[in-house]
Amino acid sequence: MTCANCARRVSQSLQTVPGVSSAEADAASGRAVVTWAAGNTPDNDALIRAVQSAGYTAALQRAAANHEHSHADGWKQNLILGSALTLPLMFGEWLLGFGHEAWFHKLAFVQAGIVQIICGARFYRGAWQQAKVGASNMDTLVALGTTTAFGYSVWQLFTGASGHLFFMEAAATLTLISLGHWLEARISQKATAALRGLMELAPQTACRIDGGGVETVVPIAELRAGDGIVLRPGDRVPTDCEVVDGASAVDESMLTGESLPVEKATGAKLFGGTTNTNGRLTARVTATGEATALAHIIAVVRRAQSSRANIQRLGDRVSNIFVPIVVGVAIGTGLLWWLEPDKALASHNALSKFLWPAAIDETLGAVTLAIVHMCAVLIVACPCAMGLATPAAIMAGTNAAARRGILIRDGMALEKAGKINAVLFDKTGTLTQGNPTVVASEELRPANQRAQSIASVAAELAKPSAHPLSQALVRHGEVAAEARLTFSDWREWRGAGVQASCEGEIWRLGSIAWLAESKVDLAAGRAFIDEHSERGATLLGISQGTQLAGLIALRDRLKEGAGEVVSRLMRQGLAVHLVTGDNARTAAAIAREAGIPEANVHAQIRPERKAELVAGLQARGNRVAFVGDGINDAPALEQADLGIAVSRASDVAREAADIILLTSDVQAIPEAIGLARATLRVIKQNLFWAFFYNAAAIPLAALGFLAPVVCAATMACSDLVVIGNALRLRNWKE
C-alpha cells in the first residue's frame, strides 16, 4: 500500500468477507487488523483472497512485529536516492546550460534510469497489482507519466532524433512524488498519535502477589481475573482491577481527559493504563486483555478511524472512475497537440491573457509537445486527494476527541453531529450529579402508628431497587437502627415507584403522580408538596392503602458548570431541552437554575416514553441529540439522531450511543458537538479542494500552463493540503 487511499480500499475489501465485524488497514505499518463477529470461525484464507481482489498481497502475521515507521522510511529512501541523482541534473540543465550536450544526455540517461528503476519500482508494483485485477490508482498515473517521458527520451537519444530530452523531468517527478508521500506518511503518524498513545499506556509487566504475600513481576499476559497485584507510587495500572487495600490518588487524564487525580480507596475501580500517584495499593484483577476499558476505548477509536461517512460516497464514486478518465484525457491531449498543434496553441494563447504567461517552445515539434502535455496530465491528476479527504479528517477528528476523553463511534456520528439543532438532556446523572440526598420529610401517620420512622419505612421499601432515588432513601433511612416492617410481594413499577405488602395491606413508595393514579388521597401533604416543588426538589410519597403516610423531598444538585454548558450550546445555535420524571414545578425550578427555557421542559416523562418524546421532537422537524447515562436511556439514545452517553453510562447505553464521554465533566458535551461539527466542516473543505484541484489542474496541464515538474510538485502538494487541513483539528478550540 502506498497511501491512505490504498489502505481504505483494503479495509473495504476485508469488510466484505462474511463474518468480519470490523477491519482496519494501516498504510504506515503495512498491516491490517481484522475482528471477527462473535460466533464466527476465522477464515484467514478468505481474508487473503479479499486483499488480493483489491490488487494487493497479504500474509498472516502470527508474531507481533513493529513496522510502525516502515512506510515513511521507504519513501525516505526514495527521496534520498532521487535527490542525490536528480539535483545534479537540474543544476547542470538549468544553471550551467548543459542541456544540449551529448555527454550530459548520456549522464542524464544513466542517473534518470537508476531513479526510474529503483525509485519507480514502488509505483510499478502498485500499478501492476491493480492492473491484474482490472483496477487502477495513482500509481498507474505516475507509472504511465514517468515511463512515457523516460521512454520517449531514450528513443530520441538512441535514434539521434533532435529535440529536448526529458530524463531530468522524469527523475524529478518521481523524486517530488516520493517527497509528497514521505511527508504524507509523517503527517499521518502525527494524526494517529492519540491512538498510539493509548496503545502504549498499559505497561508490559505487573507485580503479582500471591496468598502468602510473595510478590513476583510477571508479564501482563499472565494475569488472570482474581489475581492480586501491587501498585506502588508512580506505577501504571496494568489492567482493570478493584482496590482491596490502601488509599491513593490515580491519574486518569489520558483515558478521561480529567486533569485532577481521582481519590481511590477500598472497593474503588482502577482502569488499565492509568497511573497511581502517591500511595501503595493492593488490588484484585477484574478484567484482562480485550475485556478491559482501555481495550474497548482503543477498539472504538480504531473503528472510528476506519469508518466512512455518507458524504464520502461522492468521492468514492469519482475515485473509482477517475484514473480511466484521466488516461482518456491524456490521450486526447496528446492527439490534440500532435494532430492539431495550431488549435492547441491558439487555445493556450487565448487563455494566457486571463491566467499567466507560459511559454510554449514550438521548436520542439508536435510529437514532443504532445508527449510533454500528455505526461503533464497524467502526473498532475491526484485521485489520492479525493480518497483522503474524508479519512484524513475522521482520523484527525477522532484522535483529537480521544485526547479529550471523547469517543466518537464512527464517521456517521460526525456527520449526524453536524446536522443536529436540538439537544435533549436527561436530568438525573447528566445535568445533575446523580447523587440525590434527602433534604426534608413529613410524617403524616397518626402518632400511634409511628413505631418505625417514615424514613426507615421508605428505606425498607426501596432496598431491593437500584434506582438512584431508592439508594438515596436507603442511605438516609439506615442512619437510625430501628425495628423494621416486614414486606412481601415486592414489585417495582418502572419510572413510577415500588409497592409491597405488609400484614395484608399494600404499601407504595413513588412519585406523587403515580400515587394519585393509585387513588391515594394527597390532600394532607399538599402544602409540603407545593413548598418543595418550588425549590426544585423531587417529591416521593409513601402510602398505606389509600392513605398518604408521609412525604420525602430529595435534591440532586446540578453539576458544576451545567448552566455554562447550556449557555454554550445555545450560542452554537442549538435548542436545549430537559426531560425528567419530576413534576412540572420541580422540573421548571431545575430548568431555571440551568438556564433552560421553560417551554423546553418535559416533566413527568416515564423512561419508556423518552424515545416517544425524541420521536415527537423529530416529527416537528428537529434533529435531536439525546444526552443520557442510564440503561433506561438506551431506547432514547437509539431513537435520537445523535446519542451521547456520559461516563457513568451503562453498557447498554454506551452501545446505543454515537458519542461516549469518558469524563463526568458536562463541559465535554458542547466540546464534543463542536469538535464533531468542525470535523464535518473539514471533510467538506477537503472534498471541495480535491474536486477543485483536479478540475482546474488537469485542463491547465493539458493546455500547457503546467510543466511536468511543476505538475509533480502540485500533485504532491494537493495531498499535503488535504492532510494539513485535517491536522488543524488536533489543535481545535471552541
List the catalytic residues. Answer: 426
| Residue whose grid cell is 544526455 | 105
Contact 437/455 with Cβ under 8 angstroms?
no
What is the Cα–Cα distance from 354 to 360, expressed in whole angstroms? 16
Picking from 187, 182, 3, the residue whose alpha carbon sits closest to that of residue 80 is 182
Which DSSP symbol is given to 605?
-
Any idea how long the chain is? 734
How big is the chain by its Cα radius of gyration, in Å? 34
Q: How many CB atoms are closer than 10 A to CB 364? A: 15
- Count of Cβ atoms closer than 10 Å to residue 297 Cβ: 24
Q: How far is CA 32 from the centre of its chain?
A: 18
SS (H, E, C) 124-143: HHHHHHHHHCCCCCHHHHHH
Cell 438506551 belongs to 634
CA distance 312 to 391: 9
Q: And the C-alpha cell for 280?
A: 501503595
CA atoms within 13 A on the CB side of 518: 25
> How far apart, in Å, are the Cα atoms of 261 and each of 106, 188, 433, 439?
69, 32, 19, 30
Spatial neighbors of 343 by CB under 8 A, at least 6 apart, are 336
**Strand pairing report for 601-602 and 575-579:** parallel
State which amino acid sits at residue 108.
A
A 10 A CB-CB count for 390 gives 33
Alpha helices in 233-311 (DSSP H): 253-256, 293-305
Residue 99, CB-side half-sphere exposure with 13 Å CA sphere: 15
How far, in Å, CA of 706 to CA of 696, rounded? Answer: 11
CA-based nearest residue to 172, from 74, 73, 79, 75: 79
Q: Please, which residues bridge with residue 251 across strands?
A: 275
Half-sphere exposure of 314 (CA within 13 A, CB side): 10
Helix residue ranges, H only, 424-579: 454-462, 468-477, 512-517, 526-534, 562-571
Residue 682 in grid coordinates: 473539514
Nearest to 310 by CA among 413, 406, 191: 413
